[in-house]
Amino acid sequence: MINDKSKALLEQMRIDTDEYFKSLHKQFGDNYKIFADILDNFDCKSKTEPKSAFEDFWRQKYASYPIGSELCNSAFELFNNLKRFYSGGIFELFKTKQVEWGAPPIRIKREDVPPNSDIEMLEEEVTIYRGLSPDEFASKNFAQSWTIDLETARRFAHEIYKDKIKGIVVKTVVPRNKVIYFNAKDNEQEVIIEYGAVREAEVLI
């Protein structure tokens, strides 16, 4: 169902094709095929593809699912991810994705980040925090965005998940060599770590 061109595009975007489409099939059944259609229609057109292009496409092909439905919103977020990728590459996509809106996981690599990083300003052992969902904590499949600022993690837990199951804040320690990007001037004090570097974390009260 997913052609080689679309698989290659998702690989460039650091999205695991099998994982992504299995999750879509679980959520939307056979309508997961719509997302392959999005990739085929919007993968190489324009960095500034307008929202109206997506809505026109949707109305022409999937009018039985209204604009604003859960299916449409998830498909629209894939469209937005494509625009982010074409406008700024992997790093912009990673930094601006909206996981809570249905964006698939982006597993960024060290070669994807800008070279002007401030990793050497960190301690040899870095204490990091993350505001996350209870599901992510239970899975132990932690994402790569953390912060060295506890209040930032608390804000993410309380704001992103305020309309869902209450988010939690966790803490762990990683060696500095597991950090692939840090910008000391970032007001969120984000640290991006290697995927898989954290398998256990402590829940903070």
Give the closest residue to 118 by CA, choosing from 185, 33, 32, 58.
Answer: 185
pTM of the model: 0.86
**For residue 161, pLDDT beyond 70:** no
Give the three-state DSSP class for 20.
Answer: helix
- Confidence (pLDDT) at 44: 60
Residue burial 49-63, b: 16+ Cβ < 10 Å; e: rest:
beeeebeebbeeebe
Mean pLDDT on 162-174? 83
DSSP code string of 129-166: EEEE-HHHHHHT---SEEES-HHHHHHHHHHTTTTSSP
**For residue 201, pLDDT beyond 90:** yes
**For residue 163, pLDDT beyond 80:** no
Per the CB < 8 A criterion, the answer to whether 10 and 17 are in contact is yes
Backbone angles phi, psi at 183, to 5 degrees: -115, 110
**For residue 6, pLDDT beyond 70:** yes
- pLDDT grade for 105, boundaries at 50, 70 and 90: confident
169-182 residue pLDDT tens:
999 999 999 999 99
179-189 residue pLDDT tens:
999 999 999 99
Q: Which residues contact 156 (CB under 8 A, 6 or more apart)?
A: 130, 131, 132, 167
Backbone angles phi, psi at 23, to 5 degrees: -70, -35
- pLDDT grade for 99, boundaries at 50, 70 and 90: low
- Confidence (pLDDT) at 98: 67
Q: Give dist(CA 86, CA 44) in Å, integer.
A: 8
Q: Give dist(CA 125, CA 162) in Å, integer.
A: 32
- Confidence (pLDDT) at 102: 59
Q: Give dist(CA 140, CA 147) in Å, integer.
A: 18
Per the CB < 8 A criterion, the answer to whether 70 and 24 are in contact is no
| Average pLDDT score, the chain | 90
23-81 residue pLDDT tens:
999 999 999 999 999 998 886 656 678 889 999 999 999 999 999 899 999 999 999 89
